[in-house]
């Protein structure tokens, strides 16, 4: 295999690895949006708090799986609690109100995290033994394989949940037409709270999957949130599958652009996926896999 092609393949694989992370965050964003119609800008920092919590529990001696499960349970409570206390009163207000409150939650959680865990960066324990596998000269790490496996599992789980479970159908129904849902005995508020709790779990999983490959800092989730928002917008805000494809496209575009376009380099690498999103939205305003609800009268 020519060396240049091997470099290209390596960049694509690394892009898929980064993109899987963005996709994990994008799935959380889509889940919150699909169940409540709100773009939850606070998801990144919700993930941050939960990742620090998992680290703290592990540092205190809890087995890593127990620490992670406890952090995910906390994520659910945090997400559901924020929806119940802060978002529900804004349900019938203009969407900007929810967006501004979500940004406020973002700042508060970030500061709370800095207050509880000040100072030096922290190292998160490895989730799987570090291995570098090589296929045709292209390296792929065991953490990346875990990330892809978790993402595939999440995608399959969400597809099954929303298509084939009554709870998933009722969540979609409540999101589609909350007033009408009441007429068939659905309580939309409960399902919205549940939706936010579940989306917080998915965001926390993104944080925990990212953590072993970097040092924990209070700024670590911000870029993931931005890329995740790009991915969700690119794929379509109402489609978890689109979020995954969007995440991978964003990751690969970012990597290839920074490698092959010298004027982008590492400083402007975030610009490449943003341009991609811009171009895609010009042609498909609801994202690559987003759907517009047709309504015949």
Partner 1 sequence: MKLVVSALSAGYGNSRVVHDITLMVGPGEIVALLGANGAGKTTILRALSGIIPRAGSIRLDDREMIDVSARDIVRAGVVHVPQGRGTFGGLTVGENLSATQTGSVVREAELRDKVCRLFPILRERWTQPAGELSGGEQQMLAVARALMLEPRILMLDEPSLGLAPLIRIELFETIRAIAADGIGVLLIEQNADLSLKIASQALLLSHGRVVASGRPDEIAGSGIIEEAYLNHAG
- 217 closest CA partner among 115, 114, 143, 104: 114
Q: Does 37 sit near partner 1 (CB under 8 A)?
A: no
Q: How far apart are CA 51 and CA 41, in angstroms?
A: 17
Quick one: which segment of 23-31, 46-54, 179-187, 214-222 binds partner 1 (CB under 8 A)?
179-187
Q: Does 183 sit near partner 1 (CB under 8 A)?
A: yes
Quick one: which segment of 36-44, 148-156, 175-183, 223-231 binds partner 1 (CB under 8 A)?
175-183
- Structure letter (DSSP) for residue 125: P
Q: Does 296 sit near partner 1 (CB under 8 A)?
A: yes
Taking the least distance from each CB to partner 1, the nearer of 115 and 294 is 294
**Cβ 116 to partner 1 shortest distance, Å:** 40
| Token reading at 74 | 């906390």
Site for partner 1 (CB under 8 A): which residue of 108, 182, 214, 268?
182
Burial of 164 (0-12, 13-18, 19+ CB in 10 A): exposed
Q: Does 50 sit near partner 1 (CB under 8 A)?
A: no
Taking the least distance from each CB to partner 1, the nearer of 54 and 171 is 171
Quick one: which segment of 73-81, 150-158, 180-188, 200-208 binds partner 1 (CB under 8 A)?
180-188
Q: Quick check: helix, strand or coil at residue 86?
A: helix
Site for partner 1 (CB under 8 A): which residue of 68, 109, 147, 186?
186
153-172 residues near partner 1, rule: CB under 8 A: 166, 169-170, 172
Burial of 209 (0-12, 13-18, 19+ CB in 10 A): buried
**Cβ 247 to partner 1 shortest distance, Å:** 23
Burial of 27 (0-12, 13-18, 19+ CB in 10 A): buried
Site for partner 1 (CB under 8 A): which residue of 5, 65, 177, 275?
177
Site string for partner 1, 109-148 (x = CB under 8 A): ----------------------------------------
Sign of the dihedral through C-alpha 173, 94, 41, 266:
positive
Site for partner 1 (CB under 8 A): which residue of 132, 184, 263, 267?
184
Q: How far apart are CA 40 and CA 35, in angstroms?
A: 11
Alpha carbons within 13 angstroms on the beta-carbon side of residue 274 total 7
Site string for partner 1, 231-260 (x = CB under 8 A): -------x----------------------
Q: How far apart are CA 143 and CA 20, in angstroms?
A: 11
SS3 content of the chain, % helix, strand, coil (to 5): 70, 5, 25
Residues lying near partner 1 in the complex (CB under 8 A): 166, 169-170, 172-173, 176-177, 179-187, 238, 291, 293-297
């Amino acid at each position: 295999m020519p060396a240049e092609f091997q470099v290209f393949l390596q960049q694509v694989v690394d892009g898929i690895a980064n993109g899987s992370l963005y996709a994990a965050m994008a799935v959380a964003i889509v889940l919150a949006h699909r169940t409540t119609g709100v773009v939850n800008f606070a998801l990144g920092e919700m993930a941050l708090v939960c990742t620090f919590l998992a680290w703290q529990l592990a540092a205190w001696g809890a087995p890593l799986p127990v620490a992670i499960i406890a952090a995910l349970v906390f994520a659910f409570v945090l997400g559901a609690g924020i929806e119940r206390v802060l978002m529900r009163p804004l349900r019938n207000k203009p969407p900007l109100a929810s967006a501004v409150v979500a940004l406020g939650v973002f700042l508060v959680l970030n500061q709370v995290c800095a207050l509880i865990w000040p100072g030096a960066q922290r190292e998160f324990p490895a989730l799987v033994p570090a291995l570098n596998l090589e296929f045709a000269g292209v390296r792929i790490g065991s953490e990346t394989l875990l990330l892809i496996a978790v993402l595939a599992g999440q995608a399959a789980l969400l597809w099954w949940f929303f298509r084939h479970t009554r709870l998933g159908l009722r969540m979609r129904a409540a999101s589609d037409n909350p007033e009408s849902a009441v007429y068939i005995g659905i309580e939309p508020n409960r399902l919205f709270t549940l939706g936010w709790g579940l989306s917080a779990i998915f965001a926390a999983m993104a944080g925990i999957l990212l953590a072993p490959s970097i040092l924990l800092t209070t700024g670590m989730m911000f870029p993931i949130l931005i890329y995740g928002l790009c991915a969700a917008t690119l794929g379509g805000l109402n489609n978890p599958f689109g979020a995954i494809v969007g995440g991978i496209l964003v990751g690969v575009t970012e990597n290839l652009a920074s490698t092959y376009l010298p004027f982008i380099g590492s400083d402007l690498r975030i610009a490449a996926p943003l341009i991609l999103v811009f171009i895609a939205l010009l042609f498909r305003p609801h994202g690559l896999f987003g759907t517009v609800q047709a309504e015949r009268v």
